[in-house]
Amino acid sequence: MQEKGTISIHTENIFPIIKKFLYSDHEIFLRELVSNSVDATQKIKRLTSLGEYTGDLGETRVEVSVDKDKKTLTISDSGIGMTAEEIKKYINQIAFSGATEFVEKFKDAGDAKEIIGKFGLGFYSAFMVAGNVEIDSLSYQEGSEPAKWVCDGSTEFEISAGSRTTRGTTITLHINEDSEEFLEEARVQGILDKYAKFLPIEVMFGQKDESVPDGEDKEGKPKYKTVKKDNIINNTAPIWTKSPSDLTDEDYLQFYKELYPFSEDPLFWIHLNVDYPFELTGILYFPKLKNDFEVQKNKIQLYSRQVFITDEVKDVVPEFLMLLHGIVDSPDIPLNVSRSYLQSDGNVKKINSYITKKVADKLGDLFKKERESYESKWDDIGLFVKYGMISEEKFYEKAKDYALVKNVDGNYFTLDEYSAHIEANQTDKDKNKIWLYANDPARQHTFTAAAQDKGYDVLVFDTPIDSHFINHMETKLENTQIKRVDADNINKLIDKDEKQELAISDDEKESLKSSFEKAIDNGTYKVEVQPLAPSDAPVTVTMPEFMRRMKEMQATGGGGGFNMFGSMPDSWDVTVNGNHPLADKILKAKTDKTKEKVAKQAFDLALLSQGLLEGADLTNFIKRSTDLLSK
């Protein structure tokens, strides 16, 4: 019995087209074929449990093997199998009725996954790597005859009697010369590790050596011998498929290690589990953040019914959670359509906001129940929370109650707590509450100390996202301004309208100013003489808050139109304290040269206190100071 036929497509030859368009993703043929085998195996198991199949279920592994001499790769299962009729129906007719449309539509398409899924080409992806493909199958149905289908990648196929004696299907690929990489064990193992790691049916690929105990030697020491063991690729019951109530912390930590063998333990995790209005399971871990964010991105893996799909989870997971680790498994995400479609897909949107809500609730829970531990983790989770608050209004609404700020003494406050904490002392003459912060407390110590002397509190905002967070918070918090502690003299930062009298005359003020201007002799500094307390610093060098933010925005690529004018020049304010004894000393110096020398020294000291004195200026300053000491 032999039958020849033509695969029902209305274009000459689909396979060169498949090959041409799918070149970048050749390896997924194995995912498709193994998934088919897993599906067929699950079907027979289901039929058995429904009592519709009463034969012996037997071993239900899917076996992958390569034969380098014959140049074949084989995928074999004990699934439901197919009769000759079914092969003709499922394999030959498939979605190829739309082949002409397919060719037209995807002439310019680039994404293999897109095409494969859309046209149900799963099985046919085998022709990306094989010139000849055989199906040998025996259906579970009583009285079935084994059937064999052979196709050489043209539209011609042949069906004859098969040779399988047990239920199931064997697919044999005669690998093309230019695809011989798929005959290499390491390559095949790699692909299976990537796509099949958590498939629900055992997948076996050859055998591997394993060392097992083998009694004792003459001295009573344990002996070992090497034996061949079946090489099972997958963990068929990964923990995200189980119920959280059946799992311990240890289970979650162990699974994390399985996913990311070289990572530190995560801070905590969220088990996702919904079945309406979409199906989704998974586990998201909050990692300890390292500074290299890029390396940590794309660590979430997307699965569809335990088949690995991709680690590009953009759109499915909100942008601000891209640094999380873990697994999202959903059969409801349209994986095979283009990016723009994904963005507007209703399920994807729902999934995205579900994940956002779950994360927001989990954080709120931790904050309420374990504030101390939450605070200790804040330095790591703060980045997610701040990013989320900036980018998602819904998240902001929840997170504003448990987002924390930390002051230089290491105390944590919620936003409301902090507002209340500083209100009495840090409200200026216009009734604005002024939050002060340092982004580099060591460097800004002089300014911080000056603020603390006045009884003010200083926060620490030192992460990459903080400048954006500050901008955002100013739009949210009422009557509140957030100022870096070194942006001006502290009396100006929190202006309470407490006027100090200037102890020197107007002429003296002018003379003092000009001594400094000559001493500094540099256009980037603007000198002003101010009436401050004698105990305040004699000279301070500051960059106005507004100017600094502009520059920061520019540095991070923001700031819009300003970039058109090239980079902004530095601009610093030099405040000379006219009431400081040093001002008097400069005014009373005998020569202009001495005046300038002292002014220069005082100016350099101000720079030095902020770590702004560098290079030749620093060398000269040290030399001058040494000379002075030796006099």
Residues lying near ligand ADP in the complex (CB under 6 A) are found at 32, 36-37, 40, 77, 79-80, 82, 90-91, 94, 120, 122-123, 169
Euclidean distance between CA atoms 256 and 270, whole angstroms: 12
Burial of 49 (0-12, 13-18, 19+ CB in 10 A): exposed
Which lies closer to ligand ADP via its Cβ, residue 36 or residue 304?
36
| Residue 599: partners with Cβ closer than 8 Å, 6 or more residues away | 515, 516, 518, 519, 520, 586
- Residue 532 and residue 491 in contact, taking contact as beta carbons nearer than 8 Å: yes
Residue of closest CB approach to ligand ADP: 122
For residue 194, the minimal CB distance to ligand ADP (Å) is 19
Which lies closer to ligand ADP via its Cβ, residue 35 or residue 577?
35
Euclidean distance between CA atoms 455 and 150, whole angstroms: 86
CB atoms within 10 A of CB 1: 8
Dihedrals phi, psi of 347, to nearest 5 degrees: -60, -45
For residue 60, the minimal CB distance to ligand ADP (Å) is 12
Euclidean distance between CA atoms 123 and 28, whole angstroms: 11
For residue 93, the minimal CB distance to ligand ADP (Å) is 10
In degrees, rounded to 5, the angle at the alpha carbon of residue 248 between the alpha carbons of residues 247 and 249 is: 130
For residue 232, the minimal CB distance to ligand ADP (Å) is 19
Q: How many helices (H) and strands (E) does the chain have?
A: 21, 22
For residue 350, the minimal CB distance to ligand ADP (Å) is 25
Question: What b/e readout covers 333-363, taking b as 16+ CB neighbours within 10 angstroms?
Answer: bebbeeeeebeebebbeebbeebbebbbebb
Which lies closer to ligand ADP via its Cβ, residue 123 or residue 256?
123
For residue 282, the minimal CB distance to ligand ADP (Å) is 23
- Residue 363 and residue 381 in contact, taking contact as beta carbons nearer than 8 Å: yes
For residue 81, the minimal CB distance to ligand ADP (Å) is 6
Which lies closer to ligand ADP via its Cβ, residue 82 or residue 129?
82
Which lies closer to ligand ADP via its Cβ, residue 82 or residue 576?
82
Which lies closer to ligand ADP via its Cβ, residue 80 or residue 300?
80
For residue 145, the minimal CB distance to ligand ADP (Å) is 16
Euclidean distance between CA atoms 366 and 383, whole angstroms: 16
Euclidean distance between CA atoms 537 and 492, whole angstroms: 14
For residue 465, the minimal CB distance to ligand ADP (Å) is 43
Which lies closer to ligand ADP via its Cβ, residue 90 or residue 293?
90
Which lies closer to ligand ADP via its Cβ, residue 55 or residue 611?
55
Euclidean distance between CA atoms 336 and 590, whole angstroms: 84
Which lies closer to ligand ADP via its Cβ, residue 36 or residue 179?
36
Euclidean distance between CA atoms 130 and 133, whole angstroms: 7
Amino acid at 425: N
Report cis status (omega within 30 of 0) of the bond before 531: no
For residue 306, the minimal CB distance to ligand ADP (Å) is 15
Which lies closer to ligand ADP via its Cβ, residue 32 or residue 596?
32
Q: Where are the beta strands (DSSP E) in 422-556?
A: 433-438, 458-460, 480-484, 525-530, 539-542
